[in-house]
A = this chain, B = another copy of it.
Amino acid sequence: MKAEIDSLQTTYESHTVSDLTSQSTLLEQYRSVRTYTEALCKPLRVEDYIPQPVEFISPPKWHLAHTTWFFEEFLLCKYQPGYQRFHPDFSYLFNSYYNHVGTRVLRTDRGNITRPGVEEVYEYRRYVDSAMQELLQPDKITDELQEVILLGLNHEQQHQELLITDLKYILGHNPIFPVYSEGYTLTERANLETGILSIEEGLYGIGYNDQGFCYDNELGRHKVYLEAFEISKALVTNGEYLEFMKDGAYERFDLWLDEGWSWVKQNNAKAPLYWHNIEGEWYYYTLSGLRKVEPDNILCHINFYEAMAFAEWKGMRLPTEFEWEVAASQFQWGTRWEWTHSAYLPYPRFSKAPGAIGEYNGKFMINQMVLRGASTATSPHHSRATYRNFFHPHLQWQCTGIRLVR
Contacts and interface: CB of A to CB of B under 8 A. Distances in A.
Nearest to A259: B366
A93 interface: yes
B254 A99 contact: yes
Count of this chain's copies in the oligomeric assembly:
4
Contact of A114 (B51, B114, B393): B51
B109 A173 contact: yes
A343 interface: yes
Give chain A's interface residue range (CB within 8 Å of chain B). 35 or more
Contact of A363 (B49, B203, B256): B256
Contacts of A256: 363
A100 B254 contact: yes
A342 B99 CA distance: 26
A275 to B, nearest CB: 19
Given A46-B47, A50-B114, A176 B259 contact: no
Interface of A is mostly: mixed
Interface of A: 45-51, 53, 61, 89, 92-93, 97, 99-100, 105, 109, 111-118, 170-171, 173-176, 178, 203, 222-225, 227, 253-254, 256-261, 304-305, 341-343, 345-346, 348-349, 358, 363-367, 393
A45 B142 CA distance: 43
Nearest to A252: B99
A257 B363 contact: yes
Contact of A47 (B117, B171, B253, B364): B117
A224 B225 contact: yes
A53 B367 contact: no
Contacts of A343: 343, 345
Contact of A51 (B112, B170, B363, B365): B112
A170 B114 contact: yes
A203 B223 CA distance: 10
Contacts of A203: 203, 225
Contacts of A100: 254
A365 B257 contact: yes
A301 B279 CA distance: 41
3 smallest CB-CB distances across A and B, nearest first, come from: A343-B343, A47-B114, A46-B46
Contacts of A117: 45-47
A287 B217 CA distance: 44
Nearest to A54: B112
Contacts of A364: 257-258
B115 A178 contact: yes
